[in-house]
């Protein structure tokens, strides 16, 4: 019996931030530590997803390796044979399956993706790459090649995860049982112990999600920020003038965001509900974030690059076999290979 697969990927086009860490990395690392005997856990760098919008390509290699160092510092147990790390582009089946899935995907489906709408807004048609347009298809291939059932992602990726389910079901209906269909989103949240997908907000504009592409960086806590600088960002986070701490994203998104950051870093937010001042909450969150970054960065410094390279090479060889055998199934089904 093969073990059910838990899988996620984090792009390498900028430093990762605490939204990435809390939304996707930590849930996966927690599973890898607690349940690795029951599951196969795959954590990869979707390097082909890195330049759907323009980047500085001279930095990409360094960013890819930095991501893998971050995975390790977050506590991923590299010595466990059921935990796999890999770079997407080292496994060509991702690109090949994407092409096949592309041909069963409606352009309208891609156009309706809210992330596509957000990212392409204001750019002329010529400046929106086809890669940005169909990247949910590549993401579906990333998931379906390994038969992943559980995929921890932040709230902004939920629609893409639903698309992966749709395309898997569509091809299963047409060709018979080709793919494991990932669990419905609600079940995924239950599995990861959440009531919904996580969306950490920008500290300066809590109506927006915290995002790598934020230009000023003032509303974003990067994992490489100096702990002191991160503290300042929390202390100057935008709140409101209501004057009472409440968990209410409609009316108090800034305060609610601080409560969530505190909670997901292990604090107990109930202590602050009803407080008439925001200062105490901010100070507590700043302490937590500062402490977290000090520990995390100390672990990051100690990461052994040689160990990472060895594991990457052996895991990528193993993943190529799994991915190629799933791809062959699909190639046979669509008539590209003899039955
Ligand atoms: P990416 O690289 O933009 O983000 C990595 C993960 O971080 C989550 N995230 C957040 N979670 C909470 N609050 C936030 N403010 C926040 N910002 C980002 C994202 O939801 C994501 O889970 N397409 C994906 C990468 C990918 C992938 C996959 C994920 C490629 N293939 C297959 C899962 C399975 C992306 O661009 O995530």
pLDDT in tens, 127-149: 899 999 999 999 999 999 999 99
Mean predicted lDDT score pLDDT of the chain: 95
What CATH number does the domain located at 5-198+304-334 have? 3.40.50.620
CA of 153 from ligand 1 middle (Å) equals 6
Own/partner contacts of 167-171, CB < 8 Å, gap of 24 or more, are 167/101, 167/104, 167/105, 167/137, 167/140, 168/140, 168/144, 170/104, 171/101, 171/104, 171/330, 171/333
State which of 9, 16, 205 you would mutate to test the pocket of ligand 1, scoring each by most atoms of that ligand within 8 A of its C-beta. 9
State which of 23, 93, 258 you would mutate to test the pocket of ligand 1, scoring each by most atoms of that ligand within 8 A of its C-beta. 23
In which residue ranges of the chain is CATH 3.40.50.620 found? 5-198+304-334
Q: How many CA atoms, within 13 angstroms, populate the side-chain half-sphere of residue 165?
A: 16
Give residue ranges with CB within 6 A of ligand 1. 7-11, 19-20, 23-24, 46, 49, 139, 142-143, 151, 153-154, 156-157, 198-200, 209-210
CA of 114 from ligand 1 middle (Å) equals 14
Of ligand 1's atoms, which has the minimum distance to the CA of residue 156?
20
Residues forming beta bridges with residue 44, ordered by sequence position: 9, 86
pTM greater than the 0.75 cutoff: yes
CA of 252 from ligand 1 middle (Å) equals 25
CA of 122 from ligand 1 middle (Å) equals 23
CA of 158 from ligand 1 middle (Å) equals 9
Per-residue confidence band for 171, with pLDDT thresholds at 50, 70 and 90: very high
Task: Please state, in angstroms and rounded to a whole number, the distance separating the CA atoms of residues 185 and 182.
Answer: 9
Looking at residue 240, its pLDDT comes to 96
| β 148-150/5-9 pair status | parallel
The encoded tokens of residue 262 equal: 């505190």
In which residue ranges of the chain is CATH 1.10.240.10 found? 227-300
| Helix and strand totals (H; E) in the chain | 13, 4
Q: Is a pLDDT exceeding 70 seen at residue 1?
A: no
Looking at residue 123, its pLDDT comes to 80
Mean pLDDT of 101-112: 97
Report the nearest-CA residue for atom 5 of ligand 1.
10
Mean pLDDT of 31-43: 91
Q: How many CA atoms, within 13 angstroms, populate the side-chain half-sphere of residue 146?
A: 30
State which of 20, 213, 257 you would mutate to test the pocket of ligand 1, scoring each by most atoms of that ligand within 8 A of its C-beta. 20
Of ligand 1's atoms, which has the minimum distance to the CA of residue 138?
31
Mean pLDDT of 3-31: 93
CA of 157 from ligand 1 middle (Å) equals 6
Report the nearest-CA residue for atom 3 of ligand 1.
11
Looking at residue 36, its pLDDT comes to 76
Of ligand 1's atoms, which has the minimum distance to the CA of residue 49?
30
Of ligand 1's atoms, which has the minimum distance to the CA of residue 198?
12
Residues involved in catalysis: 119, 209, 212
Please state, for a pLDDT cut of 70, what percent of the chain lies above it: 100
Pick the CATH number of 227-300 from 1.10.240.10, 3.90.245.10, 1.10.3720.10, 3.40.50.300: 1.10.240.10
């Amino acid at each position: 019996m093969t073990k059910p697969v838990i899988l996620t990927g984090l792009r390498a086009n900028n430093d990762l931030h605490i939204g990435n860490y809390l939304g996707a990395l930590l849930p996966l690392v927690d599973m890898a530590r607690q349940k690795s005997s029951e599951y196969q856990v795959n954590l990869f760098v979707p390097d082909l997803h890195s330049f759907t919008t323009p980047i500085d390509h001279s930095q990409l290699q360094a960013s890819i390796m930095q991501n893998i160092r971050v995975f390790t510092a977050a506590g991923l147990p590299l010595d466990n044979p059921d935990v796999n790390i890999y770079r997407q582009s080292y496994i060509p089946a991702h690109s090949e399956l994407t092409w096949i899935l592309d041909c069963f995907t409606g352009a309208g489906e891609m156009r309706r993706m809210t992330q596509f709408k957000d990212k392409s807004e204001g750019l002329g048609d010529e400046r929106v790459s086809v890669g940005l347009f169909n990247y949910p298809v590549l993401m579906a291939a990333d998931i379906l090649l390994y038969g992943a059932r559980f995929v921890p992602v932040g709230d902004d990726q939920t629609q893409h995860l639903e698309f992966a389910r749709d395309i898997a079901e569509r091809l299963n209906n047409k060709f018979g049982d080709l793919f494991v269909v990932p669990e419905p989103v609600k079940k995924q949240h239950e599995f990861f112990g959440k009531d919904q997908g996580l969306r950490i907000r920008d500290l300066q504009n809590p109506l927006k999600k915290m995002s790598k592409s934020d230009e000023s960086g003032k509303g974003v806590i990067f994992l490489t920020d100096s702990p002191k600088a991160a503290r300042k960002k929390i202390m100057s986070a935008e709140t409101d003038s209501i004057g009472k701490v409440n968990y209410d994203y409609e009316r108090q998104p800034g305060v609610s965001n601080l409560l969530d950051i505190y909670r997901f870093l292990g604090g107990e937010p109930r202590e602050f509900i009803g407080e008439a001042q925001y200062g105490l909450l901010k100070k507590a969150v700043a302490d937590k974030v500062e402490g977290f970054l000090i520990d995390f960065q100390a672990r990051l410094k100690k990461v052994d690059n040689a160990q990472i390279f060895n594991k990457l090479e052996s895991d990528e060889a193993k993943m190529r076999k799994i991915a190629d055998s799933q791809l062959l199934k699909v190639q046979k089904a669509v008539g590209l290979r003899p039955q």
